[in-house]
A and B are shown apart, each in its own frame.
Chain A
Amino acid sequence: MERALAIVERDLRRFRRSPTLIVVSLVFPIVQLVVLGYAFGGKPRHLKVGLVDQDGRVPAVQLAALGNAIAANAETFTFVPFDDQGRAVTALRNGRVNGVLTIPPGFSRRLLRGENPRVALIEDNTDNFVSGALASTFTGMVSAYGRPGVGAARTAGVGRVAGGAARMNAVPTLDIVEVYPYVPYIQYLLPGSIVMSIFMMVMIGGGIIFIDDKARGLHEGYLVTPITRFELILGFNVAGALKAILAGTVLMFIGSLIAGVPHPFDPMRLMRLFLVISLSSVALVSMMFLFMVRMEDPLVPRAIFGVLNTLLFFPSGAVYPQSAFPAWMRGLAVADPFTYVVHALKALLLKNTGFAAITGDLIFLTVFSAVTMTLATFLFKREL
């Protein structure tokens, strides 16, 4: 056992003296957390909407004024007035405005007669996020205005008004109850960043260093000593897991502060988080050891890094809900250890649950570690 500890000691001493590795394995996930968190998290703002008022009478002007009031508060959009529908649509096609709101002739007359008047929103649907934001804003605006019954008709193309008017005679209301406080996207992303920091450390500190040491002939130095196969495997993996746990724990603290997780230092939650991070580190180190155990070429781990990263990170549900995935990717997600790490970390970080919510994840990670480590041990050669 002392020999296995000697390998761990050697690895940790080297690790302590090479701050680059520590920095790299933490900087990438943090940068990703901050940039992705703010890049995807917000709602579109400062959009420009062309306004074509073909009616011109008081109710139409009131509708436009209501829009301006919303624009002034939420800063979602500003109106750009156009005299002519054709010019407005041209501006939309040229990208000078993000949508065109048309109040058709006779809007006021129909409104006053109670004939379900319509307004049309023509939008550039090549950008789903922007068109979605505009649609929901104007639906809200029109329903707020349209007590007598005004509908917003969305059009899928440009310049083609279609769709039925919403009848507002009896409007059902949906009351939404949120179980947890509002979760900004950056918090939603934090579990993914923690698993990424563990993976980075496992990949660089475990995989790449393992292959480089092998190529440099360092392993030959181990193999000519009376160390056993078991001690060697134990030494390599304990060293890798310790480094990964360190990376994951540091990122958990820094990330919680950056993302503004409420009560980040609740001791019971920290204890559960540490357990999940430790088990995840062991699982990913075992997986990496299985990949690397028969590999000789130092280029290969560098080459597969990006592929592996994409294949494990994105299907895990770290950036987007898995329920939106096609069937094949959901299949991939089931086998992906990141899925279970992300699920467990989300439960703990976003909902502060107890063990009951993460038992399944812990069981999967334990079984996954056992299977990969057993396979790797069989493949490991005590000789060259």
Chain B
Amino acid sequence: MSAAIEVHGITKRFGDFTAVDGISFSVEEGEIFGLLGPNGAGKSTLIRMLTTLLKPTSGSATVGGHDVATEADAVRRTIGVIPQALTSDLDLTVEENLLIFAKLYGVPRDERGPIIDRLLGAVELKQWADKPVKFLSGGMRRRVEIARGLVHRPRVLFLDEPTTGLDPVSRTAVWAMLRRIKAEHDLTMLLTTHYMDEADRLCDRVAIVDHGHLLALDSPIHLKAAIPGESTLEASFSNAPPDWRKRLERLPAVESVTGGPAARDPAAGESGGQAGAPRTGVGESSGAAGARGTGATDGVGGRPGVYRIASDDGPKTTTALMAEAARTGVGVLSLGVQTTTLDDVFVHFAGRELRDELQDPSPAERRVIVRRG
């Protein structure tokens, strides 16, 4: 079986800024492939190069066996693209939106009707076919665009953040629809996302991208297995002594400790710990939110003072941690235990948290959060 997408050392520079830096990977036919990374990681630039919207600065890529730079038109006939923004015409009906695109793709006149009819069935919008798109909800509009991207029977479908801005119910519905359409139409899909759970539940393989680099590439299961610890404890403390991190690292079954207050200024660390106090259960809420997939809305901003402790044995480490805290007079402000998610995978590879980056990309905030090594 040949690869549907092959990317060799592809690079895109805008002036001095390198948005995508020498990324290589290949996507097998019939695969759902996820590009996971925060905003600004280079996902959209990468997808725009693969969909012939941008020319690579260097490197090459083929889609469906056609080179994106030299055989752009052949690539365009092979691919369907569902852009990040909702770009359906609001004043046109669902059916008209699809019809215009069938014409733009040069679908023969007598095939347009049956194809549109079948696609509207597949995305469950048949009864809304003659309604203007402006009366549809966000999830329904997204389905219109998915149908629109399939109107010329492409072999490879590109989706740029297909569920961003949708409510959890709509997101689940979109996932189910994508899986079904993929199976029915024998498609290869490449999607970008900054939702861990989307990558985890939908994708066969996930590429983690940050700052234009490919950090890791494997199936979600393998990615999670590759990082230390089966469980992650997230905890914040008050009155932590300066050597608290060292003590945490010595607890039983602990593999690594990341996060915690900024090292450069103990006072800042202290206040950081205090600042975490009103947000009780920081660890649990973020973990649960990650699993539910409402990460972008969980309200946990930069989280100074929260330690992430990777452990092979969650309960054992937790018990020891509580005992240690009681013995040294350290107050536990919050404590959560969870099994490893792609969140932890991202933190492991990128050295920082995805959500924090999404919510506040200001450099000042980042200085506190980033802890490499």
> Which A residues are within 8 Å of any B CB, using their own CB?
2-3, 5-7, 9-10, 13-14, 17-18, 216-218, 220-227, 383-384
Contacts and interface: CB of A to CB of B under 8 A. Distances in A.
Nearest to A223: B53
A224 B76 contact: yes
B132 A220 contact: no
30 contacts: A2-B103, A3-B104, A3-B106, A6-B104, A9-B100, A9-B103, A10-B89, A10-B100, A13-B89, A13-B96, A14-B91, A17-B91, A17-B92, A217-B84, A218-B89, A220-B53, A220-B81, A220-B87, A221-B87, A221-B101, A221-B148, A223-B52, A224-B52, A224-B53, A224-B76, A224-B79, A225-B105, A227-B104, A383-B55, A384-B48
B103 A6 contact: yes
A225 B76 contact: yes
B77 to A, nearest CB: 5
Contacts of A225: 76, 101, 104-105
B76 A226 contact: yes
Given A6-B100, A217-B84, A226 B105 contact: yes
A17 B96 CA distance: 13
A18 B134 CA distance: 12
Nearest to A3: B104
Contacts of A224: 51-53, 76, 79, 81
Contacts of B55: 383
Contacts of A226: 73, 76-77, 105-106
A2 B148 CA distance: 18
A2 B102 CA distance: 11
Contacts of B85: 216-217, 220
Given A216-B85, A224-B76, 7 more contacts: A14-B92, A217-B83, A222-B104, A224-B79, A226-B76, A227-B104, A383-B53
**Leading 9 A-B pairs by shortest Cβ distance:** A6-B103, A217-B85, A17-B91, A224-B81, A225-B104, A226-B76, A10-B100, A384-B53, A217-B87
Interface in B43-72: 48, 51-55
Nearest to A227: B104
Nearest to B74: A226
Nearest to A219: B87
Contacts of A9: 100, 103
A17 B89 CA distance: 11
Given A217-B84, A224-B81, A5 B91 contact: no
Contacts of A7: 104
Contacts of B84: 217
B171 to A, nearest CB: 20
Given A221-B87, A224-B76, A225-B76, A383 B103 contact: no
Contacts of A2: 103, 106
A215 to B, nearest CB: 9
B151 to A, nearest CB: 10
Contacts of A5: 103
Interface of B: 48, 51-55, 73, 76-77, 79, 81, 83-85, 87, 89, 91-92, 96, 100-101, 103-106, 132, 148
Q: Which of B55, B83, B92, B103 has the most CB of A within 10 A?
A: B103
B170 to A, nearest CB: 20
Nearest to B104: A225
A76 to B, nearest CB: 55
Contacts of B100: 6, 9-10
B12 to A, nearest CB: 11
Contacts of A13: 89, 91-92, 96
A227 B105 CA distance: 7
B220 to A, nearest CB: 28
A16 to B, nearest CB: 9
B89 A14 contact: yes
A216 B89 CA distance: 11
Nearest to B45: A384
B221 to A, nearest CB: 33
A126 B91 CA distance: 54
Given A216-B87, A221-B83, A17 B132 contact: yes
A218 B87 contact: yes
A216 B84 CA distance: 10
B77 A3 contact: no
A8 to B, nearest CB: 10
Contacts of B91: 13-14, 17-18
A365 B85 CA distance: 39
Contact of A383 (B52, B81, B87): B52
A218 B85 CA distance: 9
Contacts of A223: 52-53
Contacts of A216: 85, 87
Contacts of B148: 221
B85 to A, nearest CB: 4
B54 A383 contact: yes
A249 to B, nearest CB: 23
Contact of B54 (A17, A218, A221, A384): A384
A335 B94 CA distance: 45
Contacts of A220: 53, 81, 83, 85, 87
A17 B79 CA distance: 31
Given A216-B87, A225-B104, A10 B53 contact: no
A6 B89 CA distance: 13
A4 to B, nearest CB: 10
A6 B52 CA distance: 21
Contacts of B101: 221, 225
Contacts of A217: 83-85, 87
B92 A10 contact: yes
